[in-house]
Structure 1
């Protein structure tokens, strides 16, 4: 019993020593906190971009950077004609990590989604603007355009870049 009490007290003391307080959701961050967060995301994005580029270099398929900061295996992809708001699209996609392990068994799928009226991952929504009907593309997405610093609170942890295999149905 004394051992459990000692370990508990020791754990509490070590946790409180370096604990950083966070404002509640919707709370206000100081200017310094915002700067620290901005620098963290900038450094993380730079690091992920370098890791993704190294991964690309080892692939037999070519990937091309897009203006939104993700890569796609179709040349000139984001130079194509852009789909307009309020137009409809049906699509599905699978998520993979960079070990090429499929994260979810079933693909995410939407039928007759209308642009401007659905909320999707930033990279997926952007790619859907340029994909042709029936086309399938692979996106390499840094975490900032995927599930970011929170993950999806299911199988995807925070700050995880993803491979997304997207198909316009």
Structure 2
């Protein structure tokens, strides 16, 4: 009887010392949702860029400039290079006004509807296109930007007047630039 109990104990010890097995997920995703989303966004971007390029082609009197940031712009009022060569950099405080329209020139936010804004470059929330656009301007200039939706308010809109994936035209007047204090 002792041999049977001893054998049973040895077998129990061997079975209980087995290492744990990895648990595998019940279902596995193939990543198809992400691939579909990428394809949908590429198609949307192509449509918006085509619309902007059509607007530019129809307006032969205006000199549009393509930025490295994925948007287009033109100067309504340009400051001569000899007057001011300073452009805002990280941390500088800029004071500006802007208004927003659709690409079809329907007013979303009228001139004066948005209050004059002070903004610390790259240190506060502002939609990415305007953040990049302000860095291209000098004090006293007025510039009109054409932003595809991903550079404007994107998928979420502004949760007020601008809906999902709306490309916009924004006219910005940069009033002043205060350089960041260099004293540490």
**What TM-score results when the alignment is normalised by the length of structure 1?**
0.73
Number of the residue aligned with 1:123: 129
Moved over 3 A (4+): none
5+ residue gaps, structure 1:
1-28
Aligned counterparts, 1:13-162, within 5 A: 31-59=31-59, 60-74=61-75, 83-105=88-110, 106-111=113-118, 113-162=119-168
**Count of residue pairs the alignment pairs up:** 136
CA distance in 2, matches of 1:82, 1:38: 35
The alignment partner of 2:108 has SS state of coil
Contact 2:72 2:147 in 1 (8 A): yes
CA distance in 2, matches of 1:30, 1:126: 36
* Stretch of structure 1 that moved more, 150-159 or 42-51: 150-159
**What TM-score results when the alignment is normalised by the length of structure 2?**
0.68
Q: Which has the higher helix share?
A: 1
Greater Rg by CA: 2
5+ residue gaps, structure 2:
1-28, 79-84, 176-184
